[in-house]
């Protein structure tokens, strides 16, 4: 049976959990009191970006990223593998990926090396509740040979990451529940034999769980075959983490496959663009997430909203729905007031909190 709880610095959370992205130590347009009031119980911070931005002396003085942010919920960190793909493999920044690690050349006179060990060291300095090993992101569309190379490198980096993690835990005297979770990441692209290989090899190394890595979207939809392979070949006591998952229906589908940890930028990003999530129901009790169309999008920027004084939602208890009209939200977006982004982001996070409540009670 999959784990029922996620332990963190202040206690434990009932799974499943959804963590919005506080990429550089904040959730855009929101403060952490806003986040807490939505029912969201934790956030994700981005290892790769913070590694480049943070002064480590300041981080240590603050007692880790949680103390620095002034946030008291659960905090998880990713490995940095996806960001490496974004800035290097897409040609946004110069650099290269080697067996040693990631070589970065942000400027002509600057050279950085981001190794699996360094990723672990920095995450342990962040003092997050869950640490993820550095992986070599399998490029979408590559052939089997290239995908196999990324899997082999991912497995090697995972082995090195685990060794560094255990060394730091021993040095700090972290044992049992005092240790953060350590998760491996499964790569392999669209090749299910490689996904199986990667999963099995990571299990041999030994982790607290596995993350679904890579780019699962094909033709605009998620291919769940990789998730099925990871779930099938991972031990029943493993946490399964859908990195970057995602859309409400994808969260529901992944949960059905045994995944219980999710993070995504979508609810807050959509909120900032006036795209709000609404359940297709007249009350919270009537929400049925087991039907294909259990929600829809509401476009707050449509001009027809100007004369609509009704609430965004009759059942939602977020600050937006309890206090303001569709007309007023339209007005705020039209004049490009940042309050519109804040209120809409709060609403979308509340939607996700209600969605996760439904999954917990399913």
Which CATH architecture is the domain 5-264 placed in?
Alpha-Beta Barrel (3.20)
* Separation CA 21–CA 77 (nearest Å): 10
| Predicted local confidence at residue 334, as pLDDT | 98
* Separation CA 280–CA 40 (nearest Å): 21
Q: Whole-model pTM above 0.85?
A: yes
| Predicted local confidence at residue 79, as pLDDT | 84
Q: Is the dihedral of CA 222, 76, 162, 149 positive or negative?
A: positive
Active site residue 177: no
Contact 20, 277 (CB under 8 A): no
SS3 104: strand
Q: What is the number of residues in the chain?
A: 362
| Predicted local confidence at residue 1, as pLDDT | 80
How many C-beta atoms surround the C-beta of residue 192 within 10 A?
Answer: 14
Contact 187, 145 (CB under 8 A): no
* Separation CA 25–CA 71 (nearest Å): 10
- Catalytic residue, chosen from 34, 136, 250, 263, is 263
Going by C-beta distance under 8 Å and a sequence separation of 6 or more, which residues neighbour residue 204? Answer: none
Contact 8, 129 (CB under 8 A): yes
Q: Give the pairing type, strands 102-107 and 110-114.
A: antiparallel
Structure tokens at 233: 């070949």
Contact 286, 280 (CB under 8 A): no
Q: Which of 250, 260, 247 is nearest to 211 (CA)?
A: 260
**Average pLDDT for consecutive 10-residue bins of the chain (362 residues)?**
91 97 96 97 94 93 97 93 68 74 74 91 97 93 95 98 98 95 97 98 98 84 94 98 95 97 97 98 90 94 97 96 98 98 98 97 87
Active site residue 21: no
Domain ranges of the chain: 5-264, 274-360
| Predicted local confidence at residue 69, as pLDDT | 97
> What letter does residue 21 receive in the DSSP assignment?
B
* Separation CA 348–CA 331 (nearest Å): 19
- Catalytic residue, chosen from 78, 135, 136, 270, is 78
């Amino acid at each position: 049976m999959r784990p029922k709880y996620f332990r963190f610095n202040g206690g434990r959370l009932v799974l499943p959990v959804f963590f919005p992205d506080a990429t550089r130590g904040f959730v855009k347009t929101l403060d952490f009191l806003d986040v807490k009031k939505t029912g969201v119980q934790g956030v994700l911070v981005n290892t790769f970006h913070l590694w480049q931005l943070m002064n480590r002396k300041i981080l240590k003085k603050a007692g880790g990223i949680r103390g620095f942010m002034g946030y008291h919920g659960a905090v998880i960190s990713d490995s940095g593998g996806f960001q490496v793909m974004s800035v290097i493999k897409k040609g946004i920044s110069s650099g290269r990926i080697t067996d040693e690690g990631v070589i970065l050349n942000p400027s002509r006179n600057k050279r950085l090396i981001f190794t699996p060990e360094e990723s672990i060291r920095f995450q342990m300095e962040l003092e997050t509740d869950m640490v993820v090993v550095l992986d070599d992101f399998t490029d979408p569309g590559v052939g089997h040979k290239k995908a196999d190379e990324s899997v082999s490198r991912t497995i090697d980096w995972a082995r090195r990451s685990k060794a560094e993690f255990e060394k730091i835990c021993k040095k700090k005297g972290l044992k049992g529940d005092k240790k953060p979770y350590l998760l491996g990441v499964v790569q392999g692209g669209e090749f299910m034999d490689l996904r199986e290989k990667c999963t099995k090899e990571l299990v041999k190394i030994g982790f607290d769980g596995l993350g679904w890595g890579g780019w699962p979207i094909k033709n605009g939809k998620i291919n769940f075959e990789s998730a099925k392979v990871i779930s099938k070949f991972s031990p029943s006591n493993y946490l399964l983490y859908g990195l970057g998952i995602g859309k409400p229906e994808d969260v529901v589908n992944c949960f059905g496959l045994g995944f219980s940890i999710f993070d995504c930028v979508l609810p807050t990003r959509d909120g900032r663009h006036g795209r709000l999530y609404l359940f297709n129901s007249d009350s919270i009790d009537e929400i049925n997430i087991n039907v294909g169309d259990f929600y829809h999008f509401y476009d707050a920027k449509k001009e027809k909203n100007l004369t609509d004084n009704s609430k965004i939602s009759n059942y939602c208890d977020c600050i937006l729905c309890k206090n303001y009209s569709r007309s007023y939200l339209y007005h705020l977006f039209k004049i490009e007031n940042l309050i519109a982004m804040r209120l809409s982001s709060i609403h979308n996070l509340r939607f996700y909190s209600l969605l996760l409540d439904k999954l917990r009670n399913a």
